[in-house]
Amino acid sequence: MKNLWNDRDAAKYQGDLGLRVYTSRLLGRDPSLVLHGGGNTSVKITETNLVGEAEDILYVKGSGWDLATIEAPGFAPVRMPHLLKLAKLPALSDPQMVNELKTQMTQASAPGPSVETILHAILPYKYVDHTHADAVVTITNTPNGLDRIKEIYGDRLVIIPYVMPGFDLARVCAERFAAEATDKTVGMVLMNHGIFSFGATAKESYDLMIELVGAAEAYLQKQDAWILPLASVQTSKTSIAHALAHLRYQVSQVAGVPMIVSCDRHEKSLAFAQRDDVATISQQGPATPDHVIRTKRIPQIGRDVAAYKKAYETYFQTEVQQIAADKTMVDPAPRVILDPELGLCSVGRTAKAAAIVADIYDHTMDIIARSTALGGYQALPAKDIFEVEYWDLEQAKLKKGGTPAEFTGEIAMVTGAASGIGKACVESLLARGAAVVGLDLNPDIETLYDRPDFCGITCDLTDETAIATALEQTMQTFGGLDMLILNAGIFPASAPIASLPTSQWRQVMNINLDSNLVLMRDCQPFLKLAPNGGRVVVIGSKNVPAPGKGAAAYSASKAALNQLARIAALEWGGDRIRINSLHPNAVFDTGIWTEEVLTNRAKAYGLTVEEYKTNNVLKVEISSRDVAELAAEMCGSLFAKTTAAQVPIDGGNERVI
């Protein structure tokens, strides 16, 4: 455990609250202490209100803020006197408690106070830090965890038996702390939950947290339960793409909505999934009550796609249907699936949610493995886990999520995605909630966006092996494919047929037509597993209905692609896959339309550049975003009963009309 305090950095933060921000961020930077919103910090400050009265205020981390990036507005200011009065009540329901906390805030715009606010208030220290340190949780989650904690810390910490977060926990802590705290007390352990440190200054409280957690890590090292040797793993090198797609389909069926399934096949995940005792240790419960994740293990190894499909169908028809029968659950689908061949599969309504599940379970695997090495993993009893999952506040939070975006849980693939119409399609789909895979020959695609719902893959679409690799990566990243936008293509220099080089003709056909045939063919098995039906949108061209001189290769390739889409619509309709085309014209914010080209073309027509850009019936300019929005709309509910349609987006072209 490394102490990250730096005097020079700390000097940049002014006042008690500023230093509270600084040390909170230090804690948040270490995922073994704080992971995805877990943990809480607070500081008690005396402030003068608007009418000149001095008030004791508790600034506690607000809901929705992450300690790693928290700022001063992320702390909720709550009046201390009322909190101390609440702590003396014999009972207080959690909804009532939340209401009381909100009514005592001094800033209406502040986030909601943590459910542990009263607990922070009753501790008689200026600064309070609370983390879910992996090392401490590892030790407490063993049959004799209490004795081990006493052995490590002696009388320096007050030890609290597990109580669900909220008012009851604050009341128990107040009673135990008053009875057991001494002048040696520097912190508190909540069994199966986490650890607290206290201090008169931000540095003192932070330093103590690092020291206390470091002692737990040293204990695990001494017991040979810290460094975990990885067992050899069994894995085949065959494609797992189709197996993942079938798994995602079954998960989505149980959830009742499309889901993202992300696959982690690193050595650590495979070794855990292949443990002889994983069926037992993975089903005992989460490492902490803050991270309740429904986990299931699917047995067998070395299956082909047909065997995978059968195994998943059997699993979800037997075990998960029992969960699904409980109508009080917001979503009955498991969030972690352990498979000896696939490794760790994390499930989420969005790519971000699945990524959070993966991070949490990555730490959970370490905790379980270390606890097992220490003497046996023992999570909270099922009753306590049930109470957390069906906690009034937890259920209210789940149901408060609001209406999801149109494509939430769905996966789209866009070709030629690094610029122009392709990039605009990526943005339109992301805005509608989809997870998006962008393919492009330009390696810049890999860093186009830094967000969990985008995966950029450098891919030469004329290489069938590269397409297969891209689909494999797509399945491992998101679990399936719902939408395919065929945008990539080239527009060669103008050449009459009489002087058209055969090499140019073949190059255009290879990129604009042949590569799309391969991609459509290889995507079809995944699109037919799309929970809401597969969708393909072909970015065609005005040259399909109205070809122009000098563009024989381009016009013919786009017309052939359009015909291919019509045939696919006939063949794939029974698989619930719909295919539609749109035909843009004169989209000037793409790479081929430089200022020089625009000026020359406008001059050739005797027009200004602006007149040339709006040279259509409606006198409007067509942008990449216009095309992208129509492409996204074709994937949506408006076109749910339409296939093989061809829609122009050109402002009205007289030759097309």
DSSP of 157-194, one letter per residue? EEEE----TTHHHHHHHHHHHHHH--TT--EEEETTTE
Amino acid type, 280 = T
Residue numbers in the chain where pLDDT is lower than 70: 36-37, 286-331, 380-402
Check residue 387 and give its pLDDT: 45
Which residues does 326 contact at the CB level (< 8 Å), separation at least 6? 332
Amino acid type, 369 = A
Strands, E assignment, 376-471: 411-415, 435-440, 454-458
Please state at what angle helix 15-28 crosses helix 202-222, rounded to 10 degrees.
20
Integer angstrom CA distances of residue 357 from 350, 381, 382, 553, 635:
11, 22, 20, 49, 28
- Residue 530 has what DSSP assignment? -
The span from the CA of 164 to the CA of 636, in Å, is: 43
Which residues does 245 contact at the CB level (< 8 Å), separation at least 6? 475, 479, 480, 481, 525, 526, 529
The span from the CA of 183 to the CA of 247, in Å, is: 56
The span from the CA of 545 to the CA of 558, in Å, is: 10
Which residues does 173 contact at the CB level (< 8 Å), separation at least 6? 119, 122, 123, 160, 188
Check residue 317 and give its pLDDT: 58
Check residue 594 and give its pLDDT: 78
Integer angstrom CA distances of residue 625 from 8, 566, 647, 649:
47, 25, 16, 11
The span from the CA of 225 to the CA of 219, in Å, is: 9
Check residue 391 and give its pLDDT: 40
Helix, strand and coil content of the chain, in percent to the nearest 5, comes to 45, 15, 40
Q: How many CB atoms neighbour CB 571 within 10 A?
A: 12
Integer angstrom CA distances of residue 375 from 148, 218, 595, 619:
11, 16, 72, 77
Q: How many CB atoms neighbour CB 240 within 10 A?
A: 23
Strands, E assignment, 203-333: 260-264, 295-297
Check residue 277 and give its pLDDT: 87
CA atoms within 13 A on the CB side of 144: 6
| CB 402, CB 418: distance < 8 Å | no
Which DSSP helix (H) or strand (E) runs through 626? helix 624-634
Check residue 300 and give its pLDDT: 57
CB neighbour burial string for 596-635, b if at least 16 within 10 angstroms, e if fewer? eeeeebbeeeeeeeeebbebbeeeebbbbbbbbbbbbbbb
Check residue 595 and give its pLDDT: 84
The span from the CA of 640 to the CA of 508, in Å, is: 32
Of residues 403, 415, 406, 421, the one with CA closest to residue 635? 406
Tokens of 392: 């009034």
The span from the CA of 637 to the CA of 411, in Å, is: 16
Check residue 321 and give its pLDDT: 52
Phi and psi, residue 646, nearest 5°: -125, 120
